[in-house]
Every structure is written in C-alpha cells, then in structure tokens.
Structure 1
Amino acid sequence: MSFTNTDQLSPGVTVEVRDEQWLVTGVARSTDGFRLKVRGLSDYVRDSTATFYTALDEVRVFDPTQVEVTPDDSPGYRHARLWIESTLRQTPIPLYQRELSVATRMLADPLDYQLSAVRRALSAENTRPRILLADAVGLGKTLEIGMILAELIRRGRGQRILVVTPKHVMEQFQQELWTRFSIPLVRLDSVGIQQVRQKLPASRNPFTYYPRVIVSMDTLKSPKYRAQLEKVSWDAVVIDEIHNATNAGTKNNELARTLAPTTESLILASATPHNGNPNSFKEILRLLDPLSVLPDGRIDADAAKRLIIRRHRNTPEVAQVVGSKWAKRLEPHNIPVDASPEENAVARELHQSWTHPGSNAVSKDRLFPWTLTKAYLSSPAALAETVAGRLSRITPGPSSERQALEHLAELNSKVTPENSAKYAALVNYLAAIGVKKGSANRVVIFSERVATLHWLQDNLSRHLKMPKGAVKIMHGGLSDTEQMSLIDEFKRTDTKLRILITGDVASEGVNLHSQCHNLVHYDIPWSLIRIQQRNGRIDRYGQTEQPQITTLLLDPAGTDTIGELHVLTKLMDREHAAHSMLGDASSLMGEHSVSGEEDAIRKVLQGQRDFDQTVATPEEVLSGAHARRENADEQVEDNSLDIDALLASLNDTLTEDLSLSEVEASESIEDQQATAAWDSIYTQEVDYLRDALNEAFHNVPSASLNKGGVDFLEHSNAIVELSPTEDLRRRLDILPQDYLSYRKVKENLMLATTLSRGNQQLTAAREGDSEKSWPKAHYLGPLHPVSDWAADRALSSMNRNEIPAVTGEVAKPTVLLMGTLTNSRGQVVTRAFITATAGQFGLNAPEGIPRASAETIPDPVAWLNAVGLGENAINTGTTTVPEDLKALLSAAVTEATSHMDLTREDARTQAEERTQHWSQRAEQWDQHHHSGASTRAIKRSTPLIDQERSLLKSMTPERTLIRPLLVVIPQLGQEG
C-alpha cells in the first residue's frame, strides 16, 4: 500500500516517483515542499541516483506500517537477519549519538586520543561539526579526519565531501581515506579536472560530477573555479594545512572564505595554527564559527576551546598510548665541518665585503648580504645562482657591487665537490649509515635551495656510484602528479629510490617514515618551525625505528659571523629539547611564522640580538619565565600573547572532556572494537556480504555473469574475489582512478576480510613488487561500497510490503519496531527500538481498541541474540503466523508511536536548549556590534550568523517514523 502523506518522508523509506521505486537517502525542506535525494531500486533505475521535489513530482510513500507478515523459510533465518541489518544500515544513526559506530572498525589503530577528537567533533555542543585539528606534527591528523568523515557518513551527513590539500599530499591523503576507511575520493588534480571537463557540457559545473573529491589548493584558488564553487553545496569540507589560507587578501584565503559557508561540516587541520598574526588566527575561528570572534576583535575563549583540538607527542593521553608504534627520537647528530681552504676563501670574502664591510659597503641593501650567506651555507651551486641573479638585476656598467659580485663568483667557482669539506662529510656520513649501492637503507636530505638539490643529485649519484633512479629530487617546481609519484615511490621497498633530496615543499604533511628513519639537514633553516616540520616527516606515529636527525654544520675559520656554528648548533639542540619536553617548538621564539623566526635569527647572526633572549629554553616556557621580547620597530597586537596562552591551555581542556567519556574512557581499544558494532548483527563484514549475495542471486554466488549472477570466491587466507557485475562496475566509477586502473578492479575485485589481512596487504603494497602503493586486496570495512551494492541487490529481491516472521525464545508473539525522529532536513535526531506484545487483556481490551504492551530495548543486537536470531540461528521451517497478528501489528505501531512522542518532547527540549545557548551568544555578539566595532568584520559575519540561525531552526525535531522490522513467534509449547 502507498499514499502521498509526506509526513512519512524520512531516510530509509521507499517511494514511488515517475512509476519507479526509489530508496530515500536524504530529505530537506525546500521553499514549497521537500527535496528528496534517492537511489533507484526498481530494475530500470537501479543504482542510479536522483533528486526530486515534492512540488514538482507526485511522490507516493510506501507506508512502512502497512505490511504483511511472511514466515521466513531461509536457512538460519538469513532473510530476516539480512532484512534487519540492511534496514539498520540504510537508516542513519542519530546526529549526536555519543557512541562511535564505525570509526573503530576501520583499518587504523583507533588510539584513545584520536577517538576523543572524533567525539569532540561530533559533540552536541556543536550545532554542526566544525573543528580545527591542531595536533602537533606526527600525531595522525589524517586518521582523525578519516574517522570523523566515516562517522558523518554513518550519520547521513557525508554524502558530498570535498577535501582540499596541498598538491604534494593529494595522493597520500586519497590513499589513506580509501585504503583505511573505504571513503573514495576522486582526485581532481591538473589532469583529472580536465578529464572531467571533457566529459561534461561546457555549462555543467565540474564539481557536481563526483560526490566526493579531493583537489589541491593550487587548483581551486584559480578565479575560474571560484564562481562554480559558490554554487555547490557540500555535506563536509576538509581543508588541510589551513595556515596557508588565513592571510586576508590572498587567493588561498578567498578560497577558504568561499567554501566555509557552503558546507554543514567543516574540518580544518594545521600543526601550526598561529603564525604570529592574531588576525590570521581569528580568521580560522571565523571560518568555523562567526560568533567566536566578537566585533571588537576579541576572541571568545570558550568558543575557541570548543572549536580547537591540540595535543603533542608528550601530552599524557598521547604518550601513554603511542608506545612502540612511535619510536623515540635519538639525540640530534650535529656534525661540525671545518671548511676547506676554498670554502674559507669564500667565507672571508663574504665577511669582509658583505656582512661586515665597515665603511666600505659595496651594497646599500642590508638584507642581500645575508641572502648570500644562506646561499653559501647551502652549496656553491646555490651561491653561484644567487650571484648570477643579482648581476642580472643591477644597473649595467662598472660599479663596486658588480666588481665584488664577480670576485665572489670567481672564488666560489673554485669550490668543487672534490674540495668541499661539507659535501665530503655528507658522503662519509651516508656511507657510515649504509646508504650505498646494493643497500636497502634510505635517507631523506633537506635543503632550502633548488640549485643545491640538483647539485647534490648529480654528485651523489656519481660519487656513490648509485644506479639510475636511486637518487631523485623533489621541489615545488614539479607538477602535482610528479610530486605525488615521487612520494609514493619512496614509500615502497621494491623501488630503486634510496636517496630523496627535497626542498621544504615536502616539510608539510608528507609521510616519509614507512621505509626511512634517517634525515639529514644539508643546510639549516633559520626557523624552529621549519626544522620541526622537516623532522616530522620521519618522526611520527607509525615509525618503528628510532629516527636519527643529522645536521651538517659548516665552520669557516676566522669568520664566526658567517658560519656561526654555535648559533645554529644551539638552534638544533633547542628544537630537540622542545620536541622532548613541549612537543612544539614554535613557543620558544613566539614568532609563530617561518619568516618571523628567520628574521630573528638573522639579527642574532648580525649581532643585534642575543640568542638566549631570542630563543627560550623549554624550561623557561614551562615556568612562564620567558616573555617574548620585541624590537622597538615591531608592532604586535596585545592579544597575540593571549593566543599563545589559549593554545597552551587546550591540552588541559581536552583531558577534562575525556573524563566525561563514561564507559569508553576505561575500555581498551580491543574492547571498543568489539563493542562498537552494537548496531550490527553481523560480527564480520564478509558474513553480511555473503548473505546479501546469496539472497540477491538465489544461493548461486558462482553463477554465470551473463545469467545475472556474480562470481564470488572465498579463499582460506581471509581474501575474497568478486567479479563485478555491470551495475557494480558503474558504482566503482567513484573509486580513486589510479586504484581502479592499476589493480584492474572492474575486472576482478579482491577484498581482505580481516584487520590483520588488511594491514598485511597495505604492507605488501609497499614492500613487494608493486609499482604503486595501492593494496592488491582492499579492506572490506563497514562503509565499503561493495557491501552497499550487495545490500541493495538483496533488498530489491525482497517484497517491500512484507516483514519476516521467525520462531524464537519469546513468551508471546512479539513485534520488533524501530522508531526514528527526524528534523526538517531529514536528519535522524534520535532512534529507538521497541518490542511490543499483546497487552494485559489481550488485543481485545475492554474499550474495544486493540492494545499492546511495549518497551524500549537499549540494544537490539543483544535482544536478537537472546531470542535466537544470532549467527548460529537454526530455522526448522515451522513458523506459523497467528490469525490475530494484523491486530497486534496495529496495536504495536500505536504503542510505539506513544513512546516516540515522549522521545520527541525530550529531543525538542534539547534542541531548544542548544538554540537558546546560541541565541545568547548571538545577542552578546550583536551588543558589541552596536557598541561600535569593525564594519568589515560585521559585514562579513552577519550573513554567516543568519545562516547559522536558519540552520538551528531546521534542526528542530519534526517527524516520527515507525517501522515494524520483525515478528518473533514463540516455539511450540512455550507460549505464555
């Protein structure tokens, strides 16, 4: 039976539109009705998706309460178990459910500190999930993002996802989310986005083609994409390394401002959220919550603590769980190198003519001599490039500067790989750690100058006699696909690559630790932040060998101000001490930006500042004895120091929140993984897949494909193989394209069915003979699209107007029902499971109205196991449906509705409390608005606040849906 009452519209119900059957996956109010997102169920539209508007199309809802009860005659009650499981999966869990549903069942170590971040992001404190993950380098922010997105998907809040990253980490990010969380992101790099545009009409928006995509910030910040982005809405947007998009007036910032209002969930990530400019930090807060920064520019500290998560390696909750999965860093290995005569000659010339010329300065530019100095400390190739560049820019004709530059170039040309003491020290060190021809040992070498990268590549290949492809360079001038290919190659054992020489393009976000634990600073950044970022490429969670950080320190004779060995040595030692004691080095100088720190160290080298006054010790930071010292020419807003204090206080805030985690706080990871699947009646995903295939293809999983079957082969090593049918191949189009083509997934899909086998496959992709690090067998997680496809195929073979009846351990005929309460956006606010039996007087009560006795059950899976519908259920084929069951169903629905009415009132009260709390904050913000504040801030924030107000109204619980799921009949002789 069907009807047109839109009160029953909710995710999970079946509708008929345009003579076809569809499963509703999303509901939202439109100006004149409802907008429905649906997936096709009937043959003609199966697997296709569509959007319908009730104002334009007649929508007939299949009333889930008007059902026929049919005895289940399938083996082990497979039909009933599959029906219930599929219904549960197609119904989103409540928005603010505290228990995590899928995050702990993915191919990742669900560490307590990461789970606490996920719970914070999903907390009812946030009207919508908007969070800054500011954990220090190496803690696994990508994994936290994956867990949050997985939970959002399970809550019906993650259908459309956009991830924005720096271009060199796109493939790494894409791989992590697909291989570990079964979240497919189509990579729209410089090549991918052009391929999409070729498939679409010129008028079609390319960002509507795929529902979940990953794009680089460099690509998206192009003006030609901004107008298209403004017209697209997303369920979740992730912006990685957000500190690159916080400076007002930049294209990156315009991109962030464009995206923030277009999404319900916003996840920002950065290990360095404060760059020293208070306005940049406030920009992050405004993106997340326009009320978090008052119109007068002050930060709402309570809001900031709610929006930001920040921990480091030695935060207690982190230190106690990382264990052997994060080997402790060795003491820094600083190698002082006495300069060769040729290198000394260049240093003397720099000292006498450039950095300390007295009254005979050859250049009026005070900064350029130190640019020369940094180039000299990098390599003769870098210095030659810098001198040549300067010569090309100065006025033609004789001059003292030109003469000095030409003389410097002549001296520098005499420094060769054969007489460079610093280069010789590098070669000797590499040999000492076993990086040589025929060895599997690897090293990553950092330098700031591209000329140095090429110089090192050419000479190391020659002097170490390394084979072709063993020494490669990476820099920002490479395309996004070239950078991603290099990173992927360095992760795998089967490649020839042993020495990766890279610029600071690889200092952020790139994981280089899987096959490498040696890192060399060939030249030293004059910035603790940059040093820390570099070191974090190998010193991070998942590193099982103790990382060794080595620095080459050139020490010219008699020119202390050029090499300043003691200054740069102390800089490296302070970073290591901060890493050990604080987990974050940026607080030592208080500059919070690479450029600010470089300027400060340059002044130390110039003799204008004292090192110990410029760079604090960790002990001084912990005691509060060190205050940031500013020069008279620096103008910094007073509340920048408040930001430092705010960030420092966030660790304590999160620890306090953890104490509220009830049972989960005391559970082990293993316990959490075992209990997290409370809403699933299958303990193994492969069991569900197998049952669904058997149901869909009539117990012939190995039938010929051209007869509508599917090839399905289970191996004894926890691997299954599946030959995709045509409709499954269409669904696989949304998977990462590299994975599809390299593993030929559309021809033969291999799945790992256990966590251990899934991890083994990830390792094998890096250590075997694979050309890419995509695993051969993909982990079959709870969000895998293959499971969704199999469930849809199974459900399409079932009659939507029927529910199964089974025989079980009950005293009376019992109906299991599910009640959901949704808001006007079609999102599930709360969900309850109810059992109903005939009332005290039976169904024919004195009033003449059928009555039932109903109660809410906290755990439907435990109840199903208790009545005999667990994994070992036995179907004897004797189930008989009583004649008065229709009356029981009617009475059960009535009683369940009464239960949900009480739940609705409670949910309304909670929604009103959230609205009231937000309204009080908005009123406070408005008072500051009228008291005279920044017109620019008000102009920007007001529409965002109006958007939030509209969102709050739509979150009010609105519709109740009752769905009978199952009837359990007492066994013969057991009816009470």
Structure 2
Amino acid sequence: MTVQDEFRAAPGSIVQVRDEEWLVTEVVRDGDGWVVHCQGLTELVRDTSAIFATVLDEVVVLDPADATVVADTSPSYTRSRLWLEAMLRKSPVPLTDPELSVATRGLSDALGYQQEAVRKALDPSNLRPRILLADAVGLGKTIEIGMILAELVRRGRGERILVVTPRHVLEQMQGELWNRFALPFVRLDSTGIQRIRQKLPANRNPFTYYKRVIISIDTLKADRYLAHLQKQRWDAVVIDESHNVTNAAAQNNRLARLLAARTDALILASATPHNGKKESFAELVRMLDPSAVRPDGELVESEVQRLVIRRHRHSPEVAQVVGSDWAERLEPRNILVDASPAENAVAEELEQVWLHPESGRSPYSGSNAALFPWTLAKAFLSSPAALRETIKERTRRLAKDPDPAAEREIAALANLDALAAKADGSSAKYDRLVQYLREIGVGPGESMRAVVFAERVPTLKWLTAALRKDLKLGAESVVLMHGGLTDDEQQRIVDSFKQSSSAIRVLVTGDVASEGVNLHSQCHHLIHFDIPWSLIRIEQRNGRIDRYGQKHRPQITTLLLHPTTERFAGDIRVLTKLVDKEHEAHTALGDVASLMGKYDVDAEEDVIRKVLAGQAKLDDEIAPVETVAAQPTVAGIMARLKSAAAAAPAAPPPTAPIGIFPTELDFLRTALHAFMPTPAATGENGVGWQEHTGHAVAQFAPPADLRQRLEVLPQTYLAERRVMTELKLATSVQRGRTSLAEALADDSPSSWPEAHYLAPLHPVLEWAADRALAHLNRNEVFAVRSDTDDIVVLLQGMLTNARGHVVAANALLARFPNPENLDFVLVEPHARAVDGLAAAGFTGAPVNAADLTDVHVLTRFIAPAVRDADKHLETLVVEADRATRERVQQWIDRTAGWEDDAAGLTQRQELKERRRAVADERQLATAMLPERRLVRPLLVVVPKGLDLDTLTARAGQDGGA
C-alpha cells in the first residue's frame, strides 16, 4: 500500500505501521510517496505523535469496509459514547464550514467586528488563511489572533504554530492565548532557551521538539536559528508588530520572508502596517500572497481588500458594540507650566545663543547647524538632567579631535551646562507633575495609578527617584521601566502593573512601553512629561490605556514648559498642536501616521525640527483628516478598507456541543470514571477527582501520562498554581471569567487564574480523547441498541485534498430496512454525527441491557454500508468540489496573469525571486484540489427487539456472514 496512486489514507483513517495502530491527522504528498502524520492509538504508542514516510515505512491503511463489529458491554454504553466523542473531537471541521466552531467558546468577549476578522481569515475563497490584521491600537488584535488560531486547530490546520512577537509582550501574548483559548505555547525567552538547552543536544532542532512556540523576533532572527527554520514547516505563523519586518535589507525581513514561505497560514498583525511607501507595504502583502502585488510593484487594491482588515475605535462596526467596555477618551488636557527662574535662564541661553542667535550662527561646529540646537532644546524640554546628558555626550565627541571651532562649541556647551545644573533641582514642570498626581489621588494608601511617559533615560531615572521622595512612596510603588532592562524584568513589571494587588502606583516608562503593552486594566491616567515630536509616538503611548477593556474614561495629560522667552515659547506652543491633531485623527480616522505621511517616528521628528527651526510650516506638513481617504496612496487604500467594512453583529457562542456529551465537563468526568476504577480515590485507582458544583470548579491530580503533556504549559503557571500536583478547572464561562479576575485581585499570589477554564481545546480534553480512542482494537466498531426500527450504521464521510485538509464532511446514516437484503440500503445525510445518532434513537446515556453478546453477524452490514455511503457522499460533495476547483482555478489564473505581466520586465534578481515565489504559489494551488473521499463507520445501532440469534440463523441460510 505504498504506491502513490493506491494510498488512500486521509485525516481520520486508521493505519498500521510497525505493528502499531495510528490515527492519521494529516497526509501530504512528498515526491514519490506520502508523509503521514499520526497519533498513536495502541497502548505502546498511545501518547506518541509520529510522522511516517511511505517510501521508508510500510503504511497499511485499514479498509473501513473490513471493520468488525464488537458489542459494547459497558454501563450506559459509556465506551461507545467516549469513543464517538473522541473521534468527533479529532475529526477536523471542513475548510468550507462558514460557522465558527470554537473561537467564541473561550473567555474572550468575541465581539462582532472580531468575529468578522476571523471569518475573513478563514474565508474559503482564500484557500489558505493568510491575513494582515491592521486594526488600530486597542481593538484586540491578540484576541483576534487567538480566535483564528483556535479555529485553525479545530480545522486540523494548527498542529504546529509559531508566534513571533517583540520580546516585551511575550508573556502577555502567551497568557492571553492560554487563559482565554486554552492554547499552550512554550515561551522561548532567555529563561526558556536556557531550559531547552538543558533538555536537548546542541545540534537538535528546538522547533521539532515543541510543536507550538512563542519567541521574540530579536531572538529568532539570530543566524543560529535560521538553519533550523529552513528545515521546518509550520501550519501557522503569527508575526506581531509586523511593520518591523518591511525593510527588505534588514534581518527582520529576511526572517519574515523565510517564515512566510514555510507556513500554510500566516497572520501578520500591526496597528501601523505601512510607512506610506508602497514598496514597504507591498512587502507585507507579498508575504501573504506574492501575486497580490504586480511585478512592477503596484498594489492590486482588490487583493488588498481580500487580504487586509482595518478598523478603528470609531468605525461603525466597532463603536456600536464596545459600549462601556471601552470608555470614550476624555478631551486631552494640555497644561502649560510657567518655567522657574533657573529654567528661564536655560531657555534664554538656548534662544539667544543656539536657536535664534543675533549673529545668525550658533556655536555648533558641525554640518547641521540649523537642526542640532533643537536636539538640545528637545533634551531640555524633557528635563535639565536630559539636557546635561546630551551636553556631556556632545562634549566627549568634540574633545576627541579638538579644533578652534570645536573649542568654541565646548565653551558654549559648558555655559549651558552650568545653567542646566542650577535648573536640575528647580523644575516647575516636575512640581506641577507632583501636584497633578496628588490631585488625581495618587499617594500613600491610595489605589489610583498613573503612567508617566518621558523619552530620555536620564529624565526617567530622575523622575523615579524624585517621585518616590516627594510622594512618600517606596521603591515598590514608583517603578521605572526602560529598554535597558532585560525582557524578564520588563515582563515582570508589566505583569505586576496589571494586578490590583500590585504595589505599583506610578509607572515611569519610556517608549519601550509604547508598543503592544497593555496597561489599562488598573489605570486610566497617562501623563506625557515630555511631548514626543511624532504623532505616531503620541498615538502609541496613548493606546496603552485607551483600548478595549478600559472601564474608565482615559485621561491623557500633557505637561508643557512655558518659558518667558518670546521666540522659544512660541516655538514650544507648536508642540501642543501635535497632541490636538492626534486626538482629532484618533476620532475621525484611527490613523495618525497618514497625517504627516512619513510613517516613521524619526522622520516625523525631523519634520518637527524643521518646523521649529522656521524651515517649514506645521499646517503644510500635516494633512487635513478629511483629505486622506481620497488620496491614491497606501493611506487612501487603507482608509477605503475601513469604510468598506460592513457592520457585523456578534454571533452568540454555539450552543450545540462539539460531540455527543452536553459539556466538556461531562466528557471529562465520564472519561475519568472509565479510566479509573475509583477516580475520587488517590493512588493507582484514582486521581482525587472532586467537583465543587456550587463554585463550578473541578480538580484532580494529573496522572503521569497527563503530567507529561502539561509540561508545555506556561512554566510560571505550572509553578505558581502547582498544576502538576493539583489541577483546578473552571467548568463554566462565568466561573472562568471570575477566576481570571480573581488573579488580578489584591490578595492573589499569582496573575494566573487558580481554576483554568475548561475550553474545548484544553489539553486535558485532548488527553481524555486519546485515552478513549484506545478502547477499541484494530479496525473495530462498537454495536449498541436503541429505539430504532432498523439496523443502522452511522458513518462519517470526508472529502480531502492532496494536502490532507478536509474540504467537506457529512454524517451518513445507512439503514437496512430488510436485514436479509444487504443490497437494499437507505442512506440519509446529516449535517453532524450528533444529528445522525438522534435519528437512530441513540441519545443521552441509554440503559445497556447487556444482551448484545454474539454480534459477529453484524459485521456483514459494514461493507455495504461503506459502499453505499461512499456513493451517496460523491453526490453530496459535488458542490464543495466544484466551488473548491473554481477557487483553485482563480488562484492559478492570478499567478498566470502575474507571470504574463512579468515577462516583459527586466529580469532583475529581485524579480526572479518573486517569480519563484509565484511559481510556488501555483504549485501549492494545485495541491488544494479535492482528491480523495473517506467513509468510515462509527457505530452500529441495533433495534432493541431484534434477536441476533435469529439474524445469525437467517444469515447462515443465505450463505454465512
């Protein structure tokens, strides 16, 4: 059975390899044979995943028509129901199924616009789930990512997943995926890498050891990992903050392109997905689909519409659903602070000597005399301490190669430093900050919190020390976070700030916290101690507390120094317009970067320097909000994406169970009672199973084979909640939410919930399903009795493509009205196996009278049931087959059109690489074509009044079974 044309395995098939029995989870063509991904069924390999190549191993597909029937003698047919539940949970949902199966069954709110993003990612017209989530800051892209990944897992397309994020949000992303969707990811930060090095040989590929990994892009882009990545394929890759990978000359881009080419599903996420340049945005679009960008680099807007989704806080589909779960931002508060005498002295020196000298020339000895003085001014507007650090650094550089001009500048810098030193202890802006913090209720014994942003590290250090003293708060209450801290230190601070039990009252931070970090759960006051000279940076900062889940109206406050100097004071007031413009764009457009059109923090800062230096006018550099959407630019395309999005109401979570048990708890409880003689006991016969019904919590001690699986859970969760000793599970959504909230309470010892929600994809349920699958021997089917008039065989039918993906599926009920005539079979299609069971009268937990003893005669019904069900399936999947072939052809036609356009262009190396990528796309498209049908029997249902002995006698008269 190793010849390619004869190999008939598909997901759900049972195969025999090396004399062990395996459940097939994926089948992929590979040269002259097939690569078969399997999960062990028999005792020796039960907890083992394996990959076999038919060119190396004899992979024998067990013919479903040859299955034998065995009687289920367990009370209430427990073994049959568990086996059916396991098979249904292991059976992938078809790619073409438009309904969300598990995405809304977790602990996320699953808002309508978020569900719309998931549906767009899974749209069958895409054939591959590849999407750029470009929602604005605060809309919950992490939740959308979790929902998409959950659906991919349920559809059999999420076995191997790689999540790549900035290092400071590793734990946050890991926590969201585990707490809300029960998706465990091994975090390979500095601690995780050290742990894996202790387990694996130095030459072992770490990405083959763990199937779901979350890692920082800074770690992953190192050369030592590239060789490992080139040998690895993924079912899904997530790249968070993907705007950091658009520079074609950078390591980040090299890594992203490698991953995009070696994964089926690709999710890119960024609130700022482009820098205004078509070529940069095209880099992201090409990663999703190489043929979506023309050979000459022009974007195909219809393809962008297909591949990108973009909404913001005030988009209609967002505004109508967030309600009180995202409190509307208050008007920004800009506080002008009159400078102290010492600060005025510094301002006068800056104006008269450096910014607007009477001679027309500042002491600056370099080539950028018009702009460097504003570097000094910007440092001063942060703090005198920052100004002194800038002076020190400039003086050090000049001293290396002194000349008369440099010596004059050094002397001028010394004068400025002397004035800054006097102002260092008399900052009016700092005094106003202390006053403001007290006004809003920050202080000893108070619960109010605030985030204070400043740009320069000397400012941050000075603020931290001074606020501790003047607010009479300890080091644990005024905490500093900056980019010089390790990823572990940063994560620990962010994690603490989220908890109501945290002692932190003032978080002093730089722009390391301006991207991706959630600070809103316990805080709604944000203070800009200095104003970033960039709309993008202002928006990023504000988004830390102005995001979904914010229950209080966010207050954004900016402190701005107001010196008595005429020209310098007027220059500074220009900066307040940046705060106002950000607020205007936030409300109307959701995208501040398009106003200046630079899409880069440094570039925006350069523009502001020119404005302050009198070389440009601010109104000329910032476009009116209403004109952006009409422009034929990337910004215009993105704005039209937003306006084209249809409002979609949130669909309620599915009420129908995944399998035949009403809830996940019912399945787990029944499985444990089947596996353990006395599950409530401890030791060999039990696991100390307890249910606290009033609190919706169940707990037990994981047995050894389950503990082995749980090792991939977040390590801090395992340690802090002592999971390996006692696993607690929240058995209702409400209890899950409460447990998650309690983890942030004042007396919580951990930020991980004590009782983890038993979501449909929880590893405990996967373990229970694998145990249940071992209840039958090789190629056997259970027989049960029910209130049915006929002998019926329940079967599952699937249509798969060459990649092993399930394209369509149906439950089929084969009825035998006349048991003596095996050629007379009535086949009924049902949407779900549960519906077929109900039609056969097998529901709930029926009483097993144990009167099905000699059932060998029932085996004769399997082959004709499989035969006729397969014929019926062929007619059922015609539409799915046709639709899929049309989509594949459209894909092929699109790549062919791209090739035609490229033929007339100069074949540069870059274009040759793109042609190879498009050619790979065409080859991949053909692999998506429907190829094989699989029909397998799940259960034989016998009428309660049917006497099997009589049936056996009649079968013998007809020539035997």
Q: Quick check: 1:52 aligned with 2:43?
A: no
- Matched residues in 2 for 1:798 and 1:697: separation? 17
SS at the partner of 1:822?
strand
Aligned position for 2:28: 28
Aligned position for 1:681: 660
Aligned position for 2:478: 471
Shift, 1:548, TM fit:
0.8
- The range that moved more, 966-975 or 312-321, is 966-975
SS at the partner of 1:283?
helix
Aligned position for 1:820: 798
Aligned position for 1:691: 670
2:285 is aligned with what amino acid? L
Shift, 1:648, TM fit:
0.8
Q: Quick check: 1:830 aligned with 2:808?
A: yes
Aligned position for 2:871: 898
- The range that moved more, 815-824 or 12-21, is 12-21
Q: Quick check: 1:503 aligned with 2:481?
A: no
Shift, 1:651, TM fit:
2.1
Matches within 5 A, 1:230-269: 230-269=230-269
- Matched residues in 1 for 2:634 and 2:2: separation? 59
Shift, 1:618, TM fit:
3.4
> Does the Cα contact within 8 Å between 2:127 and 2:887 map onto a contact in 1?
yes
Gaps of 5+ in 2: 949-961
> Does the Cα contact within 8 Å between 1:844 and 1:850 map onto a contact in 2?
no
Aligned position for 1:410: 418
2:509 is aligned with what amino acid? T
CA distance 1:480–1:922, shift in 2 (3 Å): same
1:958 is aligned with what amino acid? E
1:532 to 531, 539, 543: 539
Aligned position for 2:688: 711
- Matched residues in 1 for 2:613 and 2:947: separation? 93
CA distance 1:900–1:506, shift in 2 (3 Å): same
Gaps of 5+ in 1: 628-640, 659-664
Matches within 5 A, 1:287-366: 287-357=287-357, 358-363=359-364, 364=366, 365=368, 366=370
Matches within 5 A, 1:404-553: 404-417=412-425, 419-553=426-560
- Matched residues in 2 for 1:409 and 1:461: separation? 26
SS at the partner of 2:700?
strand
> Does the Cα contact within 8 Å between 1:8 and 1:63 map onto a contact in 2?
no
Q: Quick check: 1:647 aligned with 2:647?
A: no
SS at the partner of 1:494?
coil
- The range that moved more, 170-179 or 16-25, is 16-25
Residue deviations 1:21-68 (CA, integer Å, cap 9, x gap): 222222212223221222223232231222212221222333333333
2:607 to 600, 604, 617: 600
- Matched residues in 1 for 2:83 and 2:749: separation? 42
Matches within 5 A, 1:573-972: 573-619=580-626, 621=628, 641-655=632-646, 669-670=651-652, 672-675=653-656, 677=657, 679-698=658-677, 700-707=678-685, 709-716=686-693, 717-838=695-816, 842=818, 850-865=823-838, 867-871=840-844, 873-875=846-848, 877=850, 885-933=858-906, 935-972=908-945
> Does the Cα contact within 8 Å between 2:347 and 2:568 map onto a contact in 1?
no
Aligned position for 1:380: 384
CA distance 1:538–1:870, shift in 2 (3 Å): farther
> Does the Cα contact within 8 Å between 1:236 and 1:264 map onto a contact in 2?
yes
SS at the partner of 1:953?
helix
- The range that moved more, 291-300 or 590-599, is 590-599
1:648 is aligned with what amino acid? A
- The range that moved more, 590-599 or 90-99, is 590-599
CA distance 1:774–1:864, shift in 2 (3 Å): same
CA distance 1:331–1:4, shift in 2 (3 Å): closer
Shift, 1:73, TM fit:
4.2
SS at the partner of 1:414?
helix
> Does the Cα contact within 8 Å between 2:801 and 2:931 map onto a contact in 1?
yes
Aligned position for 2:955: none
Shift, 1:295, TM fit:
1.2
- Matched residues in 1 for 2:832 and 2:15: separation? 29
- Matched residues in 1 for 2:903 and 2:355: separation? 54
Aligned position for 2:397: 393
1:308 is aligned with what amino acid? V
- Matched residues in 2 for 1:308 and 1:501: separation? 35
1:967 is aligned with what amino acid? V
- Matched residues in 1 for 2:389 and 2:865: separation? 83
**TM-score, with structure 1 as normaliser:** 0.92
1:713 is aligned with what amino acid? Q
Aligned position for 2:958: none
- Matched residues in 2 for 1:913 and 1:3: separation? 29
CA distance 1:489–1:943, shift in 2 (3 Å): same
Aligned position for 1:17: 17
Shift, 1:893, TM fit:
1.3
Q: Quick check: 1:200 aligned with 2:200?
A: yes
> Does the Cα contact within 8 Å between 1:350 and 1:562 map onto a contact in 2?
no
> Does the Cα contact within 8 Å between 1:3 and 1:61 map onto a contact in 2?
no
CA distance 1:63–1:690, shift in 2 (3 Å): farther
**TM-score, with structure 2 as normaliser:** 0.94
Aligned position for 1:90: 90
Residue deviations 1:606-634 (CA, integer Å, cap 9, x gap): 22322223224435557x5xx7xxxxxxx
SS at the partner of 1:759?
helix
SS at the partner of 1:104?
coil
SS at the partner of 1:282?
helix
Residue deviations 1:204-225 (CA, integer Å, cap 9, x gap): 1222221111111111122222
Aligned residues: 939
SS at the partner of 1:359?
coil
- Matched residues in 2 for 1:880 and 1:201: separation? 54
- Matched residues in 1 for 2:906 and 2:111: separation? 44
Aligned position for 2:217: 217
- Matched residues in 2 for 1:475 and 1:318: separation? 33
- Matched residues in 1 for 2:429 and 2:374: separation? 20
1:518 is aligned with what amino acid? H
> Does the Cα contact within 8 Å between 1:881 and 1:969 map onto a contact in 2?
no
SS at the partner of 2:654?
helix
> Does the Cα contact within 8 Å between 1:3 and 1:62 map onto a contact in 2?
no
> Does the Cα contact within 8 Å between 2:787 and 2:842 map onto a contact in 1?
no
- Matched residues in 1 for 2:45 and 2:38: separation? 11
- Matched residues in 1 for 2:288 and 2:906: separation? 21
> Does the Cα contact within 8 Å between 1:332 and 1:576 map onto a contact in 2?
yes
Residue deviations 1:164-202 (CA, integer Å, cap 9, x gap): 100100000000001111111111112322331232222
> Does the Cα contact within 8 Å between 2:246 and 2:284 map onto a contact in 1?
yes
Residue deviations 1:70-99 (CA, integer Å, cap 9, x gap): 444444433332222111111111123211
- The range that moved more, 857-866 or 712-721, is 857-866
- Matched residues in 2 for 1:782 and 1:325: separation? 26
Residue deviations 1:664-688 (CA, integer Å, cap 9, x gap): x66x543x4325x4x4223321111
SS at the partner of 2:711?
helix
- The range that moved more, 278-287 or 805-814, is 805-814
Aligned position for 2:142: 142
- The range that moved more, 445-454 or 59-68, is 59-68
Residue deviations 1:821-880 (CA, integer Å, cap 9, x gap): 2222222121111111126xx3555xxx62301121123324434554444645455668
- Matched residues in 1 for 2:219 and 2:50: separation? 29
- Matched residues in 2 for 1:643 and 1:549: separation? 29
Residue deviations 1:441-497 (CA, integer Å, cap 9, x gap): 111111111111101001000111102311111111111111111110111122211
- The alignment yields a C-alpha RMSD, in angstroms, of 2.4
Aligned position for 2:122: 122
- Matched residues in 1 for 2:157 and 2:189: separation? 25
SS at the partner of 2:190?
coil
1:947 is aligned with what amino acid? D
CA distance 1:3–1:938, shift in 2 (3 Å): closer
